[in-house]
Structure formats: C-alpha cells, structure tokens
Amino acid sequence: MSVIREAVRKAVSKSRKKLTQGELEKILSQKLSAPRIAVKTAIRSLVADRELTYTYHYGCSFLEKSFNKPTRISNRVVLKPPDIQYKAASDDIVVNIQPGAAFGSGEHPTTRLAVRGIEQVLSRSEFFQDKKDLHGLDIGTGSGVLAIVAAMLGIRQVVGLDIDPCARAEALKNVHLNNLDNRIEIHDRNAENINTKFALITANLRYPTLKRLCPLLAKITETGGAVVVSGVKADEVFNLLQMFNEMNFKCTWKEFEEDWAGLVVDC
C-alpha cells in the first residue's frame, strides 16, 4: 500500500493538468499493474490524512494536493492554517495563512515559485551588507503571503498592493495572524503611482502585466536590489528576460514547476 500511496502522491503533484479520481485510478492501475480497488483505497487514505483533497471546477471533481495542513513549499518556508499546530525546525519560517478567496494559499505553483525566489534572494549574505531597514514591495499581494515571507526573512518594511478589496481584507487578516501589523502595510494604490525605491520587489502576475510594468520596475528597484517574478509560463520566459535585460537587469535564478516559471532578476 505504501508504494501505491507514494505513486498516487507523485502523480497528483507532478501532473500538468488536474486529474479526476477516475483518471488517476486508470493511469496508476495500468502503470503499477495493481487492482483498481487498491488505487482507490490509497486515494481515500491520502484524503483522510489531508495529503490530498477534492476540488470542484465546472461541475467536475478533481484530486489535488491539500494545503489544509502544514506544507513545506521551499527549503525554509512552511505554510499552515492558523488553527493547526506545527513543530518547526530551528531554521523554519512558519507562515499562518487563513484559507480564503484571495490568491496565494500555496496551492498554485506560481506562489511556491515566488516564495522560493524570495528565499533565494534573502539567503544571500551580501544582499544585506551595508544596508539597513530594507524595504519591499509586493504588487498584487492577494493573500499577502509573499509580503509576509519577505518580512519574516529579513525585509524590515513591506508594502502590499492590491486593487481587490476582498484580497486586501484577507491580506490584512493574514498579516495580523503573523504579528506583522507594524511591518507590513496593505494599500489599494496602483503600482504606476509608486515613486519610492525598494530593495526587493515581488510580482506574481501574468506575462502581459509584467511586460507593461517592466520599465516601472527598473525605475523603482534600488541599485543592488532584486525583483522576484512569477505567474510566467515557461514559453514566455525568454521574451520577458529580454525586456529585463534591456532595463539592465540580470537573471540570477530561474526555476520551473509544471508549465510555470519563477525568476529573480538583479538590478
């Protein structure tokens, strides 16, 4: 059973499309030469253990990785619901995220890639050399998770922007859950109205928006600062990096998950 459970877990996490239970049972029973009922039993046990969950889209149910439990999404960052206990390792950054309607619960690859990008930047000792009270900006903050991770990893003050009032309300709640009210501000301003410079900027946005914002990002990123972007499809990376190169940015990190990419570009 443990072999089948692991096969189910990997199939769900690595699939490029959402899988129904029927599709998963068929794929794995053929691949493992296992009875379909054994695959079904493994699926049920993973759902009971909160490792998988059912989601519903357009009248159809799918199996996806569950985030209603503590979930490690990078080397150091663990996301968890606020009502669930977690015994953290000494180097862990544990973020409380209340599930809601706003984007950024960790379920989507772009959130995980952005968090890994932030961790990559803020793990460099040279990033903090000769700098005090670093400031960060999160454009399209959603649940506020990227702003929270940036603050927990060393950015002194962070501004999160979102034009969606629901997202702002949820971001403020999550900021409060993590005791960061005095370090993170959430605003409804458009990014185009920002004139302050920041050491770290995060933007989990789709390619057309990132393309439009590229000149602004060049203007408001401090010399020696970094921009973490996600929300980019793998086949859009080359063109986006060309634009950043023209703005004198240098790509220092790149990672892919499913069809999505996360990038770090240094100014």
Two structure tokens written together for 13: 């996490």
Q: Is residue 68 pLDDT above 80, yes or no?
A: no
Q: Which of 220, 258, 213, 219 is nearest to 111 (CA)?
A: 258
**Rounded distance between C-alpha atoms, residue 186 and residue 171, angstroms:** 7
pLDDT at 67: 72
Q: Is residue 1 pLDDT above 70, yes or no?
A: no
Identify the CATH assignment for 2-65 out of 1.10.3720.10, 3.40.720.10, 1.10.10.10, 1.10.287.3510.
1.10.10.10
pLDDT at 143: 93
pLDDT at 57: 75
pLDDT at 117: 97
Q: Is residue 129 pLDDT above 90, yes or no?
A: no
pLDDT at 13: 78
Token look-up 């503590």 returns 70
Q: Are 183 and 159 in contact (CB under 8 A)?
A: no
CATH of domain 109-266: 3.40.50.150
Contacts of 51 (CB under 8 A, 6+ apart): 9, 65, 66, 69
Using the 8-state DSSP alphabet, how is residue 217 labeled?
H
Q: pTM of the prediction?
A: 0.81
Q: Is residue 104 pLDDT above 70, yes or no?
A: no
**Rounded distance between C-alpha atoms, residue 145 and residue 166, angstroms:** 15
Q: Is residue 150 pLDDT above 90, yes or no?
A: yes
Residues of the chain with CATH 1.10.10.10: 2-65
Q: Which residue has the higher pLDDT, 134 or 13?
A: 134
Q: Are 216 and 190 in contact (CB under 8 A)?
A: no
Q: Are 34 and 28 in contact (CB under 8 A)?
A: yes
Q: Which of 2-11, 90-99, 237-246 has the highest mean pLDDT?
A: 237-246
Q: Is residue 50 pLDDT above 90, yes or no?
A: no
Q: Please state, for a pLDDT cut of 70, what percent of the chain lies above it.
A: 97
**Rounded distance between C-alpha atoms, residue 82 and residue 98, angstroms:** 6
Q: Is residue 243 pLDDT above 80, yes or no?
A: yes
Amino acid making up residue 37: I
The least confident of 63-67, 100-104, 179-183, 220-224 is: 100-104
Mean pLDDT in residue range 97-101: 79
3-state secondary structure of 22: helix
Token look-up 């930047």 returns 121
Residues of the chain with CATH 3.40.50.150: 109-266
pLDDT tens per residue, range 153-169: 999 999 999 999 999 99
Q: With left for phi above 0 and alpha for psi between -120 and 50, is residue 131 left, alpha or beta? A: beta
Q: Is residue 79 pLDDT above 70, yes or no?
A: yes
Mean pLDDT in residue range 40-52: 85
Query: Other CB atoms closer than 10 Å to residue 119's CB: what's the count?
Result: 20
